[in-house]
């Protein structure tokens, strides 16, 4: 678990979210979600573990295609690839995908590679409610 969180925090300064482009990403919440999910294994001796899967060679455009409801691509992962890996392996433990985006200027990026961190909950995740804010 510690290694997964270390990787998440190493990636955090490499991703920019300008205010006019996208809502601010909450890295503390991402850590909390990954930590929570890792503690849900039914076998107590296997709690606190996260599966890790890394991939390279992503070369998608930054902007979404014409006709999309979004300005930017919203999902660097796909159901055909990461979705199938998650269905196969993330049964009782969450999986953290590290997806290397090549980041070329021709595709609208800043001209440097970076990693997308994508967390997928395990299949057997107990129902829970998460709230970033509460009302007193």
pLDDT of residue 35: 96
Both tokens assigned to 63: 């902007």
Average pLDDT, the chain: 87
pLDDT at residue number 84: 92
pLDDT score, position 57: 85
Q: What is the pTM of this model?
A: 0.84
pLDDT at 87 over 80: yes
Name which of 26, 104, 112 is nearest 62 in CA terms: 104
Section 28-53 average pLDDT: 95
Q: What mean pLDDT is predicted for residues 95-118?
A: 91
């Amino acid at each position: 678990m510690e290694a997964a969180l270390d990787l998440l925090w190493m990636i955090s300064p490499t991703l920019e979210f300008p205010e006019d482009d996208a809502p601010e990403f909450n890295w503390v919440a991402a850590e909390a979600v990954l930590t929570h999910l890792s503690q849900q294994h039914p076998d107590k001796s296997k709690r606190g573990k996260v599966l890790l899967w890394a991939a390279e060679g992503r070369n998608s455009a930054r902007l979404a295609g014409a006709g999309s409801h979004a300005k930017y691509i919203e999902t660097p992962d796909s159901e055909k690839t990461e979705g199938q890996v998650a269905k196969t392996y993330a049964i009782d433990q969450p999986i953290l995908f590290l997806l290397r985006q090549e980041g070329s200027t021709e595709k609208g990026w800043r001209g440097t590679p970076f990693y997308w961190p994508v967390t997928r909950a395990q299949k057997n995740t107990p129902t829970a409610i998460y709230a970033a804010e509460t009302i007193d």
